[in-house]
Amino acid sequence: MGLFSSNGSIEREFGSSPEQVGAAIESVSRDQGHNLGTISPDRTRFELTTKRSAFSWGTAIALTLAPTQTGTRVVADFDTPAGAQKALLDGRKNTKAAEAFIEQLASAL
């Protein structure tokens, strides 16, 4: 797994199995044009970078999955991608991007 520092975190629980959540992460990443990077061998951690735009270098998001009695807890840690220039409003932008990804994930499930 790559090194990942976080400037924020979002936690959400889904009523689906970790396998279903993992498949949805891959599907949403592909459908939205994000770069899905490292996936842990046990498929409990997914690292991705949201697509770049004219105004953004994208957002690095590391999603960690943990089974619960009722489904799966997802913790999304996020930051500016490694090597990208940092900006004053990165925290707000990165938070919005991570929240948007989690909402897309919820819709896919």
Report the CATH number at residue 78: 3.30.530.50
- For the chain, the domain total comes to 1
pLDDT of residue 1: 42
The CA R_g of the chain, rounded to the nearest whole Å, is 13
Structural domain contains residue 1 = no
pTM for the whole structure: 0.85
Structural domain contains residue 54 = yes
Structural domain contains residue 76 = yes
State the residue range of the domain holding 44: 8-108
Between CA 39 and CA 48 the distance in angstroms is 9
Provide the percentage of residues in the chain whose pLDDT is more than 70: 79
Structural domain contains residue 3 = no
Structural domain contains residue 15 = yes
Question: Higher confidence at residue 82 or residue 23?
Answer: 23
**90 confidence band (pLDDT: 50, 70, 90):** low
Structural domain contains residue 2 = no
Q: Is the dihedral of CA 87, 97, 37, 53 positive or negative?
A: negative
How far apart are the two ends of the chain, measured CA to CA in Å?
26
**CB-based burial label for 25 (10 Å; 0-12, 13-18, 19+):** buried
Q: Per-residue pLDDT for 4 more than 60?
A: no
